[in-house]
Structure 1
Amino acid sequence: MLNKIKGPTSYADLRTVDGITYDTFKEACYAMGLLDDDKEYTASIKEVHQWSTGNSCRSHFVSLITSNSLSFPDRVWKETCDLLSDDLTRQCPERLKSNDPETFKHVLHNIALARIEKEVNSAGYSLRNIPNMPFLDFEFIETSCNMLIQDEISYDIETLKTEHHTLKSTMTNEQLGVYDTIVDAVDKDKGGLFFLYGYGGNGKTFVWKTLAAAIRSRGDIVINVASSDSELAALLNKAKLIIWDEAPMMHRHCFEAFDRTLRDIIVSLNSSAPFGGKVVVFGGDFGQILPVIQRGTRAEIVHASLHSSDL
């Protein structure tokens, strides 16, 4: 700019082109024609979209950002945001879908931005640091950048519906009764605690699999096993059903601690209910190994079991 503008007396003079004072030097350079107009990069994204997926388009957009190829990433985003998000309709959680086209488009754009933010983060960048580049709402960050949640909502819905229909059609009357009871509790969204008792090989895992397929085919989350993780609280808040198999082997304090933890972290009107109002199903066989209590008496072992818990 110093080579192009003669006799500037201030920084404002440097940012003034054809009588218009721009907010940044970069915008002034763009107005003077010193920077590329990004048309070729916009065209490249459109070309990728013709033969590949929205995910490939987003990866291409990220590579352009991280290589500093774009003069104005925000303008390229505005011109291509529909292409960068058009594959996310089926992956969008049911609770975020809307019958209003503009609202739903806004949701898809936010999810796309979350995917892009995740990729640029891995390269040491952030959309927050790009002037005028839109950033997403916290809820979309939580849902789309949380890989625990992404893993749970990335299932093929149609395949799960077919699997669920096949599994349910082969259930026994007893298994179907268990299934109907638990699914009804999930549908009512008021929480519930159940224990499915049975010795090894009598079909507990089959019931878990059918329940998981039923809930996931709706686009909701099922947790089959849980361990400590920094993102686990968000995942637990979104879960509709929690299945804990081989429960009799664990000390009752494990379940009671889990109950208190969920009451602390679940955000809902039923958060004071057992397990924060979530539907929880324990399973196992009390005829197998009970909690191991070192040098414990029979009474101490029974007292440590889930059967002795107030839950």
Structure 2
Amino acid sequence: MLQILLKEASQSRGLLECDRSNFECLNEATTFQMPYALRRLFATILTYCQPANVGNLWDSFYKHLSEDFTRHATNDDLDVLFETLHSVDFFLQSMGKKIEFYDLPKKPLQKYSTRKDVSREIMDEMSIPVSADDDDARFKLNKEQHNAYDKIIECLDSVRSGLFFVNGPGGTGKTFLYRALLATVRKRNLIALATATSGVAASILPGGRTAHSRFKIPIDVHEKSFCSISKQSGLAELLRETRLIIRDEAPMAKRFAIEAVDRTLQDLVGISQPFGGKLVVLGGDFMQVLPVIPKPQFRRPSMEA
């Protein structure tokens, strides 16, 4: 209460930045943005612009923020309020914040009290479709692929950690094995992350992302680096719930980049095992990595006669 009074007093004396620019931004956006985009913009303003009077912005634009929810005939006022707050909280979590940090109405505790709130990152991964070809891929594996598939799925079934490396030249079917593993895990409503070092390799995996994008690996990585992931973020929640991580083209990555992911997962999960006890499959071909030849040291010619 004292903090609220102090903020109001500071604002009345002109010591805090006025929210006029935030108000004008939202007011202009209401003329052409859909409610979903408005809620994302509202969460962005809360996170990065630090408005002085959050409650006033909420009251001024609540009608526009909740417009799509009010169109459902089955929704009463409390339903609309819950859905709007839930959606804003959704975006805030993806930015590393929570709705409890702001002066906004509390979520109504009604029929939604048993509803599990999940982050946007988890919902995005859970919504990745599994094609029929990928689902049938496990029946078309050759002997070596099937051997690797069985050992990895055995760890998954027994809820054990595991670290595997799939080595093979290009064209030997590593991607086919990855797709079979991803389909099996996702058909069980579990989370599997598909990553690769390069964007080209990531694009051919269902739901694939580059490792730097998925794990927020620093560009200037060193031997003690951590990934830029807040423990309260939606990405951190996603990584805690993940059962399988696939990383293609692992030999092309810097050693410190892989170690940073390992170190970060142990910190997020709270388990001092490789990659926080996750089931991790690395793959690639060491023959495609160019050898590094040390440059011979240059010696100046002697000036002696």
Normalised to the residue count of structure 2, the TM-score between the two structures is 0.51
Please report how far the alpha carbon of residue 130 of structure 1 lies from its aligned counterpart in structure 2 after TM superposition. Answer: 5.5
- The letter for the 1-side match of 2:276 is G
Please report how far the alpha carbon of residue 149 of structure 1 lies from its aligned counterpart in structure 2 after TM superposition. Answer: 2.3
CA distance in 2, matches of 1:68, 1:292: 60
- The 3 A distance-change label for structure 1 pair 257 and 217 is same
> Which secondary structure does the structure 2 equivalent of 1:201 belong to?
coil
Please report how far the alpha carbon of residue 251 of structure 1 lies from its aligned counterpart in structure 2 after TM superposition. Answer: 3.3
Which residue is 2:86 aligned to? Answer: 114
Asked whether the equivalents of residues 85 and 107 of structure 2 are also in contact (C-alpha less than 8 Å), the reply is: no
The structure 1 residue matched to 2:179, chosen from 203, 206, 209, is 209
Which residue is 1:198 aligned to? Answer: 168
Asked whether the equivalents of residues 153 and 220 of structure 1 are also in contact (C-alpha less than 8 Å), the reply is: yes
Asked whether the equivalents of residues 193 and 245 of structure 2 are also in contact (C-alpha less than 8 Å), the reply is: yes
The answer as to 2:243 corresponding to 1:240 is yes
- The letter for the 2-side match of 1:279 is L
The structure 2 residue matched to 1:224, chosen from 175, 182, 194, is 194
Which residue is 2:225 aligned to? Answer: none
CA distance in 2, matches of 1:131, 1:204: 51
> Which secondary structure does the structure 2 equivalent of 1:295 belong to?
coil
- The letter for the 1-side match of 2:288 is Q
Higher normalized contact order (CA 8 Å, seq sep 6+, divided by chain length): 2
Which residue is 1:155 aligned to? Answer: 128
Asked whether the equivalents of residues 194 and 245 of structure 2 are also in contact (C-alpha less than 8 Å), the reply is: yes
Which residue is 1:182 aligned to? Answer: 152
> Which secondary structure does the structure 2 equivalent of 1:281 belong to?
strand
Please report how far the alpha carbon of residue 192 of structure 1 lies from its aligned counterpart in structure 2 after TM superposition. Answer: 0.6
- The letter for the 2-side match of 1:283 is G
Which residue is 2:135 aligned to? Answer: 165
- The letter for the 2-side match of 1:276 is G
Asked whether the equivalents of residues 161 and 214 of structure 1 are also in contact (C-alpha less than 8 Å), the reply is: no
Asked whether the equivalents of residues 244 and 279 of structure 2 are also in contact (C-alpha less than 8 Å), the reply is: yes
- The 3 A distance-change label for structure 1 pair 131 and 266 is closer
CA distance in 1, matches of 2:279, 2:121: 19
Q: How many residues align?
A: 199
- The letter for the 1-side match of 2:75 is T
Q: Which runs of 5+ in 1 are unaligned?
A: 1-55, 86-108, 298-311
- The 3 A distance-change label for structure 1 pair 178 and 118 is same
Give the aligned CA root-mean-square deviation in angstroms.
4.5
Please report how far the alpha carbon of residue 250 of structure 1 lies from its aligned counterpart in structure 2 after TM superposition. Answer: 2.6
> Which secondary structure does the structure 1 equivalent of 2:172 belong to?
coil
Identity %: 35
CA distance in 2, matches of 1:291, 1:248: 12
Which residue is 2:75 aligned to? Answer: 80
Shifted more, 200-209 versus 286-295: the winner is 286-295
Please report how far the alpha carbon of residue 111 of structure 1 lies from its aligned counterpart in structure 2 after TM superposition. Answer: 8.5
The answer as to 2:238 corresponding to 1:264 is no
> Which secondary structure does the structure 2 equivalent of 1:280 belong to?
strand
State the structure with more CA Rg: 1
CA distance in 2, matches of 1:66, 1:115: 17
CA distance in 2, matches of 1:132, 1:284: 49
Normalised to the residue count of structure 1, the TM-score between the two structures is 0.50
Asked whether the equivalents of residues 249 and 291 of structure 1 are also in contact (C-alpha less than 8 Å), the reply is: no
Please report how far the alpha carbon of residue 272 of structure 1 lies from its aligned counterpart in structure 2 after TM superposition. Answer: 1.3
Q: Which runs of 5+ in 2 are unaligned?
A: 1-33, 40-57, 94-98, 196-210, 217-227, 298-305
CA distance in 2, matches of 1:210, 1:66: 50
> Which secondary structure does the structure 2 equivalent of 1:287 belong to?
helix
- The 3 A distance-change label for structure 1 pair 148 and 199 is same
Which residue is 1:295 aligned to? Answer: 295
Asked whether the equivalents of residues 110 and 140 of structure 1 are also in contact (C-alpha less than 8 Å), the reply is: no
CA distance in 2, matches of 1:284, 1:167: 20
Task: Output one character per residue of 1:275-310: Cα deviation in whole Å (capped at 9) or x when no partner.
Answer: 11011111111211157576399xxxxxxxxxxxxx
Task: Output one character per residue of 1:135-163: Cα deviation in whole Å (capped at 9) or x when no partner.
Answer: 789x955x23xx3322211224xxx2734
Which residue is 2:283 aligned to? Answer: 283
